[in-house]
Amino acid sequence: MYTTATALRFDRSRFRDVLGRFCTGVTIISTVHDGRPAGFACQSFASLSLDPPLVSYAVAGTSTTGPRIERSGAFCATVLRADQGDLCRGFGRSGADKFAGVDWRPADGTGSPRIAGGLAWVDCRIETVIPAGDHRIVVGRVVDLSTPENADDALPLLYYRGAFLGPQTVPGPAAA
């Protein structure tokens, strides 16, 4: 049971340290809102359901981009390659024109930005938004998805303990 006494003992830095040891992939969640592209870097993107095909991501309640994506009703998640750390940092900043100099094309299903060079793209319509503590969980129904032809040899951008893990060899499945 969560009580006031538990809340007083809660250590935010320990929470971040412990959960920061869970390595995640990194995406850019993007949309077009009021005729302009909008997006942010996100490491909480996940597959949610096969039937129906659903994905989710979490966005901070303080985000100014999150509500624009929600109001648009659609988003595209671009899964980033290991060499796209600088691109990701650009989308992690507030206030700047994050799309300045970024190569992107509208996704076929929703028109949301599909960022060039990614490992994969998942185009979605928003199904629901769930308040969750200081974040919101956005659930999207997949309307289209793809991988570029050259993605098989590329490695993903990974986030671990507050930093990116750079281009490194990721071992394949263990031999049986």
Integer CA distances (angstroms), 36 to 29, 31, 126, in order? 14, 8, 18
What is the pLDDT, as a whole number, of residue 149?
Answer: 81
* Alpha carbons 31 and 111: distance in angstroms, whole number: 8
Specify whether the CB–CB gap between 11 and 153 falls below 8 A: no
Could you tell me what percentage of the chain is helix, strand and coil, using 3-state DSSP and rounding each to the nearest 5?
20, 40, 40
Give the count of beta carbons closer than 10 Å to the beta carbon of residue 90: 19
pTM of this structure? 0.87
Q: Which secondary structure element, helix H or strand E, spans residue 49, and what is its range? A: strand 46-49
Phi-psi region of 170 (alpha: psi -120 to 50; beta: other; left: phi over 0): beta
Reference 80, options 126, 30, 128; nearest CA is 30
Could you read off the pLDDT of 58-108 as tens digits, one per residue? Answer: 999 999 999 999 999 999 999 999 999 999 999 998 877 899 999 999 999
**Burial zone of 118 (CB within 10 Å; 0-12 exposed, 13-18 middle, 19+ buried):** buried
Structure-block tokens of residue 149: 């032809």
Q: Is the model's pLDDT at 172 over the cut of 90?
A: no
Structure-block tokens of residue 32: 């077009």
Structure-block tokens of residue 137: 């969980």
Lowest-confidence pick of 6-10, 25-29, 102-106: 6-10
Structure-block tokens of residue 165: 């893990």
